[in-house]
Amino acid sequence: MGKGIPITVAHGDGIGPEIMEATLRILEAAGAPLDIERIDIGEKVYLAGNTAGIEPQAWDSLRRTKVFLKAPITTPQGGGFKSLNVTVRKTLGLYANVRPCVAYDPFVRTKHPGMDVVIIRENEEDLYAGIEYRQTADVTQCLKIITRPGCENIVRYAFEYARRNNRKKVTCFTKDNIMKITDGLFHRVFDEIAALYPDIENEHWIVDIGAAKLADTPEVFDVVVMPNLYGDILSDVAAQVAGSVGLAGSANIGKHVAMFEAIHGSAPRRAGQNLANPSGLLLGAVMMLVHLGLNEQASHVHNAWLRTIEDGVHTYDIFKEGVSTEKVGTREFADAVIERLGQEPRQLKPARYAAADDTTAPPEPKPAPKPVKTLVGVDVSLEWTGGTPDDLGALVSRANGDGLELKLITSRGIKVWPTYAPETLLSGYWRCRFTTGSPDATVTHQQVINLLQRFRDMNLDFLKTEHLYHFDGAPGYSMGQGE
Ligand code: NAD
């Protein structure tokens, strides 16, 4: 291909090599100036003893080219193999997952003919930070991490994506009526950044009703941005209801490197038979061309693909009597797309990737002033099975002193002391909140250490502490349920 833009390509496992070959052939025929560096990932790398499924030298290529076109891989059965996608995403800081979910009615079966939604999912934080603990025989915990820079990156990305792709609206899904601090931060940052994009409509939905609406009436959504867990679930729901699971591509975007792929897996049972549909990987590759600024080639490939679908040239997975005109294999499908380069769809909406307007730099949010942080108390969690919550309250109150007093005990977040409802399920894991009694008095680390020393002297089995801070006088912790 000559002096082109360097990209890293992995052919993957199962149907991977066939669909990659078809995809690369189409890109070449469209005149995309690419220089390909090939790396090995997947099954044989895993089975050679590399638990991450990627060869160490492959990272050099990824860091050099900064663009990764990846075919699906097979994760070997059995324990000890780490998810390659998670490793790549975490190592390279790919914070945004972008998944367009489009209906191609009447050419591909769908429940929602008008659907054209892009799900933008935060990819690094939330409950997926992987910080979990088993704290007693019966009690486990997973930490939900949401940071301001993490929210700013993903929300900014969503609005920039909308602007670049001529989208009209960005919707945010959170559950901030319950998780007021973590999801509350995501929602607040969304509102702050939305205000910098007055040309784009914005709205927020609570994720439960938002998800129901997305499954029922997806036509009302355009770009939807959300934290990691909701995005993981709803991007699959959205692809499924669009009818495009086998056709969808996705992008994982970082500040330095970006990865493009199909959303489906390696379909081992279809491998090597010239049966697989290369469309998901091809549409991932179209996103890659746009990322590289090759807008003209991206439009060409995308429109030739739409025309192929419209002309009824279909692989087995989307073939339908009466709609399809020709059942083709992977290679013939690629040939059909190549024949149609330069053509546009007649009925489906053509793709138009405009040249990036470099003069419109993303608007910068005003940096928020750093709030004054004051330590006002501490939660000490302990395991104890010696009696009722009243017994525990009386016992733990004996640790009062040195300015700190027991204010509250919760079990599973529900208040059980000083008063409790007999119906409350108790777990043997208790969170004891100590404060000074005066809202603004500052607690010192030494007071916390002294408190833990008294716990130790009383043989109380404390498991962890959590500091209670005020930020500019506002509590940075949740109240106990029923407090
Ligand atoms: P899959 O997506 O590979 O297959 C699901 C179904 O869809 C199968 O019936 C398959 O034949 C069909 N299918 C998938 N892609 C197709 C295509 N392009 N054309 C025609 N039919 C297609 O999911 P699976 O069977 O659950 O997983 C198989 C393997 O893929 C597993 O090892 C899994 O770990 C891996 N996987 C990899 C990725 C990735 O690399 N990103 C993603 C998902 C699954």
What is the location of CATH 3.40.718.10 in the chain? 5-339
Cα of 264 to ligand 1 centre, how many Å?
Answer: 5
Cα of 171 to ligand 1 centre, how many Å?
Answer: 30
For the segment(s) 5-339, the CATH number from 3.40.630.30, 3.30.1180.20, 3.40.718.10, 3.30.9.40 is 3.40.718.10
- Ligand 1 proximity of 182 Cβ (cutoff 6 Å): no
Cα of 250 to ligand 1 centre, how many Å?
Answer: 14
- Ligand 1 proximity of 317 Cβ (cutoff 6 Å): yes
pLDDT value, residue 288: 97
pLDDT value, residue 228: 96
For residues 63 and 50, is the Cβ–Cβ distance under 8 A?
Answer: no
CA 242 – CA 208 distance, rounded (Å)? 19
Ligand 1 atom index nearest CA of 19: 18
**CATH number 3.40.50.2000 is the correct assignment for the domain at 374-475:** no
- Kind of pairing between the strands at 461-471 and 474-475: antiparallel
For residues 227 and 146, is the Cβ–Cβ distance under 8 A?
Answer: yes
What stretch of H or E contains 298?
A: helix 295-310
Q: Phi and psi for 450 in degrees, rounded to 5?
A: -65, -40
CA 416 – CA 392 distance, rounded (Å)? 10
Task: Supply angle C-alpha 246, 248, 252, rounded to 5.
Answer: 130
pLDDT value, residue 82: 83
Cα of 267 to ligand 1 centre, how many Å?
Answer: 4
Ligand 1 atom index nearest CA of 281: 18
User: Whole-model pTM?
Assistant: 0.92
- Ligand 1 proximity of 97 Cβ (cutoff 6 Å): no
- Ligand 1 proximity of 75 Cβ (cutoff 6 Å): yes
Q: Which are the contacts of 137, defined by CB distance < 8 A and separation ≥ 6?
A: none
Cα of 229 to ligand 1 centre, how many Å?
Answer: 21
- Give nearest CA residue, ligand 1 atom 34: 75
- 352-387 burial by CB neighbour count: b if 16+ within 10 A, else e? ebeeeeeeeeeeeeeeeeeeeebbbbbbbbbbbeee
List the beta bridge partners of residue 313. Answer: 326
Angle of helix 16-29 relative to helix 279-291, nearest 10 degrees, comes to: 50
Which value, to the nearest 10 degrees, does the dihedral of the CA atoms of residues 145, 150, 152, 158 take? -100
Ligand 1 atom index nearest CA of 267: 3
Q: Which two tokens stand for residue 197?
A: 């994009």
Q: Which regions in the chain score pLDDT beneath 70? A: 1-2, 355-361
Q: Which residue has the tokens 């995501």?
A: 186
- Ligand 1 proximity of 11 Cβ (cutoff 6 Å): no
List the beta bridge partners of residue 465. Answer: 380
What stretch of H or E contains 449?
A: helix 445-457
CA 116 – CA 447 distance, rounded (Å)? 57
CA 253 – CA 41 distance, rounded (Å)? 19
For residues 198 and 166, is the Cβ–Cβ distance under 8 A?
Answer: no
Angle of helix 228-242 relative to helix 207-216, nearest 10 degrees, comes to: 10
- What pLDDT digit, counting tens, does each position of 22-42 carry? 999 999 999 999 999 999 999
- Ligand 1 proximity of 250 Cβ (cutoff 6 Å): no
Name residue 16's amino acid. G
| Residue 269: strand, helix, or coil | helix
- Ligand 1 proximity of 270 Cβ (cutoff 6 Å): yes
- Ligand 1 proximity of 249 Cβ (cutoff 6 Å): no
- Give nearest CA residue, ligand 1 atom 1: 265
For residues 196 and 189, is the Cβ–Cβ distance under 8 A?
Answer: no
Ligand 1 atom index nearest CA of 278: 18
For residues 248 and 262, is the Cβ–Cβ distance under 8 A?
Answer: yes
Cα of 123 to ligand 1 centre, how many Å?
Answer: 21
What is the location of CATH 3.30.70.1570 in the chain? 374-475
Q: Can you list the positions of beta strands (E) in 246-396?
A: 249-253, 258-262, 313-314, 326-327, 373-383
- Ligand 1 proximity of 85 Cβ (cutoff 6 Å): yes
In terms of Cα–Cα distance, which of 310, 268, 301, 295 is closest to 282? 301
Cα of 72 to ligand 1 centre, how many Å?
Answer: 8
- Ligand 1 proximity of 279 Cβ (cutoff 6 Å): no
What does 180-202 look like in DSSP terms, one character per residue?
TTHHHHHHHHHHHHHTT-TTSEE
- What pLDDT digit, counting tens, does each position of 332-386 carry? 999 999 999 999 999 999 998 876 555 566 777 778 789 999 999 999 999 999 8
Ligand 1 atom index nearest CA of 84: 40
Q: Which are the contacts of 226, defined by CB distance < 8 A and separation ≥ 6?
A: 119, 120, 121, 122, 172, 173, 174, 207, 234
